[in-house]
């Protein structure tokens, strides 16, 4: 898909072309919380490799909001982190009855509380539930070619029948990243766009 995006970029004049990756709801856990949910000494098992050394694990959990509304079979991503985090869509937040803010991953101060239920226990997070800010992962070479820098905020256009423009898209640059814009399922459905399709960073 990335090769197709690069090839199509040669035919585009609007801006730098980026493939889309639609992110479903998921959970990041500390090792302590992994053990609380799955058992003492438990290690996450790898299902699928993701960018930046991350992976989708075989393990899933149930997330529960303050009104005891639950969503089951939420995928855990590895490896373990220093702080547990639940990423959901705005529709999920309504279902759970939580006021999850739109945040960059890892920016959890003052975010929504949520409970995480596993086969061997429960973890209550006083904060940690967010709606992920839309963002683009880039290698330094991609950033140079696109004329952007880590932390920049850009606008992006989906040039399809919906013609959606996404504003407030954050650029994230790292040597381990593969070029891809991440949006959640609500955003993808509203724009009628799917994983593997492309968007263009609008030129200033």
**What is the pTM assigned to this prediction?**
0.88
Euclidean distance between the first and final Cα of the chain, in Å?
26
Query: What's the CA gap between 138 and 171, in Å, rounded?
Result: 7
Q: H/E element holding 142?
A: helix 140-146
Query: What's the CA gap between 139 and 142, in Å, rounded?
Result: 5
Q: What is the pLDDT of residue 51?
A: 86
Query: What's the CA gap between 145 and 173, in Å, rounded?
Result: 12
Q: What is the pLDDT of residue 52?
A: 84
* 149-155, Cβ contacts within 8 angstroms, sequence gap of 24 or more: 149/173, 150/174, 154/201, 154/202, 155/201, 155/202
Domains of the chain by start residue, with CATH: 2-22+134-202 (2.40.40.20), 25-132 (no CATH)
Which residue bears the tokens 């509380």?
113
Q: What is the pLDDT of residue 103?
A: 96
Mean pLDDT by 10 residues, the chain (204 residues): 47 76 97 98 96 94 93 98 98 96 95 98 97 97 96 95 95 95 97 96 82
């Amino acid at each position: 898909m990335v090769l197709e995006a690069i090839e199509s970029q040669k035919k585009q004049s609007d801006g730098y072309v980026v493939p889309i990756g639609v992110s479903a709801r998921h959970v990041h856990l500390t090792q302590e919380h992994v053990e609380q949910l799955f058992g003492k000494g438990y290690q996450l098992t790898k299902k699928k490799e993701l960018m930046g050394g991350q992976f989708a694990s075989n393990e899933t959990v149930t997330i529960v909001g303050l009104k005891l509304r639950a969503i089951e079979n939420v995928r855990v991503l590895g490896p373990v982190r220093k702080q547990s985090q639940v990423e959901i869509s705005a529709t999920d937040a309504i279902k759970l009855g939580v006021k999850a803010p739109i945040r960059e991953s890892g920016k959890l101060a003052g975010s929504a509380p949520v409970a995480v239920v596993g086969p061997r226990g429960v973890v209550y997070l006083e904060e940690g539930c967010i709606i992920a800010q839309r963002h683009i992962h880039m290698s330094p070479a991609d950033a140079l070619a696109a004329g952007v820098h880590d932390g920049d905020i850009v606008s992006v256009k989906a040039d399809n029948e919906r013609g959606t423009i996404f504003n407030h898209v954050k650029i994230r640059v790292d040597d381990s990243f593969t070029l891809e814009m991440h949006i959640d399922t609500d955003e993808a459905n509203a724009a009628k766009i799917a994983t593997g399709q492309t968007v263009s960073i609008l030129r200033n």
